[in-house]
Amino acid sequence: MRSSLVPRLHNLSEVARAFLCQTEGSAILEFAVALPLLVVFIVGIYDFSGAFNDKQKIEQAAQEGAIVAGAQPMNDIQSSNSSPQSLLPVVDAVFNSLVASGVLSGGTTCTSPGTVSQGTGLTWTYTITGCPYTLTITINRGLVVPSGSTGTAPDAVGTVVTVSYPYHWQFNSVIQLLVPGASYAATTTLAESATVHNQL
């Protein structure tokens, strides 16, 4: 009885070895394993390049706003003024730059100048909603830039324009497809500032 079992086991091991050595279908298996990783890489590259692109556009909008702010008169800028008229062209310049570059896509629900709140000193914050996220423009007209020397030249007064807008990551949904329950920050606030000397 034992002698008849040995050839059968030997034959079974030969069949199993032959089955495991077959290469048919291995390409499909490798593709099935590599596809989710490939999708993550592609979406990640697309998403991070989109965030970098938006960051550059926000920086350009802040620079355009600072240039406009530097040319605006200072006669209506007082610490008690809740909404100086000279700041509205600055907000419009930032807003129009972001609309033209495609960062803001809210259509008619997103309009400038939005709501304004006054901070400390000569700082005002404009909040524009529905773009589809919230755009924040902070304008500080009272920046004091030291001359760098000891009392030989007066300090210059400048303006800082800071633009903040959230970026919504697509990478979050893909990472959850790959690893259920994984969390990744769905939005990141992109903020850029530009500084200019006040001309008037």
Distance CA 198, CA 122 (A): 13
Mean pLDDT, residues 181-197: 85
pLDDT of residue 5: 47
CA distances from 42 to 35, 39, 46, 50 (A): 10, 5, 6, 12
pTM of the model: 0.76
Cα angle 95, 90, 165 (rounded to 5 degrees) comes to 40
Token pair, residue 98, equals 């972001």
Asked if 110 and 127 count as a contact pair (C-beta separation under 8 A), the reply is no
Q: Is the pLDDT of residue 3 over 60?
A: no
Mean pLDDT, residues 80-101: 88
Asked if 115 and 126 count as a contact pair (C-beta separation under 8 A), the reply is yes
* b/e per residue 118-156 (b: at least 16 CB within 10 A): eeeebbbbbebeebebebbbbbbbbbeeeeeeeeeeeee
Q: Is the pLDDT of residue 81 over 80?
A: no
pLDDT tens-digit series, residues 23-63: 666 778 788 888 878 887 888 888 889 999 999 999 999 99
The domain limits of the chain are 27-197
